[in-house]
A and B are shown apart, each in its own frame.
Chain A
Amino acid sequence: MPTGDRVPRTAVALIALAGVAGGGLLALGATRTPPQPPRVAPGTVTDPATGRSTVPGKPLPRATPVRITIPAIDVRADLVPVGASATGEVEVPPSDRPAVAGWYRLGASPGEAGNAVVVGHVDSRESGPAVFFALGRLKPGDRIQVTRSDARVATFAVDGVGSYPKARFPTDLVYGAGPAPRLRLVTCGGRFDERARSYLDNVVVFATLLP
């Protein structure tokens, strides 16, 4: 057998391999969907007060929160204060910092009497899953720890998780005042509207300070 015949046989095998592998990658690239945040059934929580087993802890004085830790979903993130835009929409941390969460500084601070609100991105076009990607997976009883500038750590227990259309956002349940120290975590959820480049729902986690 002449050598000229054997070399092409190896080459044919290599070419076939490259073709098949390349085709496979193309097919995968064309069909693979990016990771989706966990879904929360809409209206899962109607009254976050029900099902709460513990008496809320005593309110702490006001202090800026600096860090949030949620062991159940591996969240360890810095907090930055956020306010509201000129149109009255709550601010979120800049999209180039998807790993930090924002504390709504015009409301209560975590541990203070009333509702403290923390907002975080679910994902980012540039870097994928963001700080509150897995928020919808939290279950009643899960713990949320907030470290404050006074070195105290406020520990909250999850009361419930709800999903609400943005047009029917439960403003009173999220931002309401009251004597008990509560925490609300807010992120996006539901279907992503490609045209509006926005999610249709908000996922809200309701939690209460532990004694």
Chain B
Amino acid sequence: MKTQSVLGSVALGVGIGTLLLPVAALADTTVSPATTPVGGTVVLTSTCNPKSGDAIFRVTGPDRDQNVRSTTAAAGGGLSAELFTAGFTLGTYTVTATCGDGTSLGSATFTVTPVGGAPAGTGPRADNHGLLAAGGTLVAAAATGALLLVRRRRYAVARA
């Protein structure tokens, strides 16, 4: 009975922990915009105190593990860097910031997407060739028939 309630409160604690953690983490490192067509630029921002030195953003993804040093003091406080995604493999990347004083902040993700829309159609089928061919054949047959008839009548008239 007692064990059960302890387990229950542990589970509750873990539950609250998992609920709270991502919220706190997301407030520390942000990427904007969260998606970019490949070749676009994203801005990485951390809430590090600029006084303790540059922040390092570690960018990991499908085939990449690179560190980006902060270049600018962000408008709302903190430090930021621009990341140019030309040549990036498409997919989702994780960014983790470490402040100049060694404090590791939470992580954020961004997605490098294809450029533009999808070329998913080559146009309606131009399938009227059959109709045109059949119509043409019938008209030609009618014309030939008419010609033969006229000739035959002329021949009959001439004989009479």
Residues in chain A within 8 A of chain B (CB atoms): 4, 8, 11-12, 14-16, 18-19, 21-30, 32-37, 83-84, 87-90, 92, 95, 104, 106-107, 114, 119-128, 130, 132, 164, 166-167, 169, 171-172, 174-177, 186-189, 192, 194, 197-199, 201-202
B129's closest neighbor in chain A, by CB? Answer: A29
Cβ A22 vs Cβ B142 within 8 A? yes
CA distance A12 to B145 in the complex (A): 8
Chain B residues touching A, majority SS: mixed
Out of B33, B38, B132, which one reaches A26, CB within 8 Å?
B132
Cβ A123 vs Cβ B121 within 8 A? yes
* Chain A residues, Cβ within 8 Å of B109: 177
Residues 116-160 of B, flagged 1 when their CB comes within 8 A of A and 0 if not, give 111111111111111110111111111101100100110010000
B85's closest neighbor in chain A, by CB? Answer: A88
Given the known A-B contacts A18-B138, A125-B126, A186-B120, are A175 and B114 also in contact in the complex, defined by CB atoms under 8 Å? yes
In whole Å, how far is B141's beta carbon from the nearest beta carbon of chain A? 5
Cβ B142 vs Cβ A19 within 8 A? yes
Given the known A-B contacts A15-B149, A194-B123, are A187 and B114 also in contact in the complex, defined by CB atoms under 8 Å? no
* Chain A residues, Cβ within 8 Å of B127: 34, 128
Residues in chain B within 8 A of chain A (CB atoms): 33-39, 62, 89-92, 109, 111, 113-132, 134-143, 145-146, 149, 152-153, 156
Jot down 26 A-B pairs with beta carbons below 8 A, ordered by A: A15-B146, A18-B142, A22-B139, A30-B128, A30-B132, A33-B124, A34-B124, A34-B125, A89-B114, A89-B115, A89-B116, A104-B114, A106-B91, A119-B118, A123-B123, A123-B125, A126-B125, A132-B120, A166-B116, A175-B113, A177-B35, A177-B92, A188-B117, A197-B123, A198-B119, A199-B121
Given the known A-B contacts A124-B122, A199-B121, are A18 and B145 also in contact in the complex, defined by CB atoms under 8 Å? yes
Q: Which of A18, A33, A88, A186 is packed against the most chain B CB atoms within 10 Å?
A: A88
* Chain B residues, Cβ within 8 Å of A194: 123
Q: Which of A16, A106, A126, A198 is packed against the most chain B CB atoms within 10 Å?
A: A106
Cβ B128 vs Cβ A29 within 8 A? yes
* Chain B residues, Cβ within 8 Å of A22: 134-142
Cβ A88 vs Cβ B118 within 8 A? no
* Chain A residues, Cβ within 8 Å of B122: 95, 121, 123-126, 197
In whole Å, how far is A191's beta carbon from the nearest beta carbon of chain B? 11
Cβ B131 vs Cβ A188 within 8 A? no
Cβ A88 vs Cβ B132 within 8 A? no
* Chain A residues, Cβ within 8 Å of B116: 89, 166-167, 169
Out of A19, A88, A104, which one reaches B115, CB within 8 Å?
A88
Cβ B142 vs Cβ A8 within 8 A? no
Cβ A106 vs Cβ B90 within 8 A? yes
In whole Å, how far is A104's beta carbon from the nearest beta carbon of chain B? 8
CA distance A168 to B142 in the complex (A): 55
* Chain B residues, Cβ within 8 Å of A189: 121
Given the known A-B contacts A123-B122, A177-B111, are A164 and B117 also in contact in the complex, defined by CB atoms under 8 Å? yes
Cβ B139 vs Cβ A4 within 8 A? no
In whole Å, how far is B41's beta carbon from the nearest beta carbon of chain A? 14
In whole Å, how far is A12's beta carbon from the nearest beta carbon of chain B? 7
CA distance A130 to B81 in the complex (A): 45
A175's closest neighbor in chain B, by CB? Answer: B113
